[in-house]
Amino acid sequence: MKKSLICAAVALTCSPAMAGDVQLFGFFDQGISFLSENLAQTMGGPVGGNQAFVDPVTGKVGMQGRKNNISQGTGNVSTWGIRLTEELDDDLSVGVHLESGFLADSGELYNKNIFFERESTIAINSKQFGQLKLGRMPAMMTGSGTTGIFNSRVNPFGAGWGNMTGGWKFVGTLATARFNNMINYRSPSFNGVTLHAQTSFGDTNSALDAEEGSSKVNHYNALGVTVQGDRYFLAAGVDYLKMGSKTGKVTDDSMKALIGGHYDFGSFKAYATVQYMDNIEYIGGYSTKEYAPLAKEGDQTKGFDAWAVSLGADTKVWGGTAKFSVGYAQGENQNLDDDKDFSRLNVGVGYLYPLSKRTSVYGIGGYFWEDADFNEDEIYASEVIVGLMHRF
């Protein structure tokens, strides 16, 4: 696409002094969703849950009762963005990445308070020394954007489609998917091996008069490595969230470790992940997102301890791609002395058919189940989405 057309589309002023490459990019995803849920209180799609408290009499979290919903739905959050790149010399370049999510059925921003919620970064790239990126960006342990190292390379559904289909986050967690004030380093590739590191100075907390970089705000740190071969990919990472003071108390610091990858057998591609979580504030995502219930209001959360595994595969069928994923997790709620164990299961299937290089139709289905000692009843939910996705 010509630079003049791109500039017109994003209402930028072009001039001869404007050097480098400018790209408008994104995708539009929209369809019809059929959702059935039997969830605990505070849970539910599409935005996920809030903090829950066990009943002082029963010692359990109450249920919402079964709900059915048919609506315009989406397998993925639609996005649009701008990339700018300028070559400084044979080794160095500068890049800017601005990306915003939006809800296709209403046109609203995915996050109403942040315009470039998906990513807002500037990077210095060196062929010799690697890339240094600064700004708001996805956490390394996610499957998102330019700095998440897992994504669809470790699961056929990436971090998941819809409210509960595939991915590893529905049995495990992404926790906070993005952070502000982040620094990300990616090394050059050495025989397919690339090193990754991240740190965040945290967000300003005006309620506590806490400035960025102070001990009262959360600080995120992560280290990872990826290995890319002709027929395989492997990623491993660990992150650590140093919790700041929110209400005069300090929560336990949280940690995650994740390893995953795929191998291409030719006729099909196999995927797997293993995840360990320590002091995680919540587990799952969207409909399956559940905060560790507290014994009583005012308590400070200690979160979940848990482990999770997922397996998946995709293969070419009738000109399209068939996908399958299953995940299982076990853990305990550290906020409770009794009735604290849980297990959860997620199954996802899907089929993606390309109408062109940029446009695809798809159908996906997911099933989720959880048995937790701290809930009154078993949780289960199912979803089917049929949709159309266009990338540009």
Average pLDDT estimate for 318-322: 97
Q: What pTM did the predictor assign?
A: 0.90
Taking only the tens place, the pLDDT of each residue in 250-309 is 578 899 999 999 999 999 999 999 999 999 989 998 888 999 999 988 888 899 999 999
d(CA 180, CA 217): 11
Task: Pick the closest to residue 307 from 338, 281, 278, 350 (CA basis).
Answer: 278
Q: Is the pLDDT of residue 229 over 60?
A: yes
d(CA 46, CA 364): 16
Q: Is the pLDDT of residue 136 over 90?
A: yes
Q: Looking at residue 76, what is its pLDDT?
A: 81
Q: Is the pLDDT of residue 329 over 80?
A: yes
Average pLDDT estimate for 319-335: 97
Q: Looking at residue 332, what is its pLDDT?
A: 97
SS3 74: coil
Listed as own residue / partner, the contacts of 137-140 with beta carbons closer than 8 Å and 24 or more positions apart are 137/178, 137/179, 137/182, 137/184, 138/177, 138/178, 139/174, 139/175, 139/176, 139/177, 139/178, 139/179, 139/198, 139/220, 139/222, 139/239, 140/184, 140/196, 140/198, 140/222, 140/224, 140/237, 140/239
Residues 223, 238 contacting (CB under 8 angstroms): yes
Instruction: Write out the two tokens for 160.
Output: 């998941």
Q: Is the pLDDT of residue 16 over 50?
A: no
Question: By percentage, how much of the chain surpasses pLDDT 70?
Answer: 90
Task: Pick the closest to residue 292 from 253, 332, 239 (CA basis).
Answer: 332
Q: Is the pLDDT of residue 212 over 80?
A: no
Longest dimension (CA), the chain: 72
SS3 207: helix
Q: Looking at residue 246, what is its pLDDT?
A: 57
User: Please, what is the Cα angle at 95 between 191 and 1, to 5 degrees?
Assistant: 105
Element (H, E) at 217: none
d(CA 151, CA 139): 12
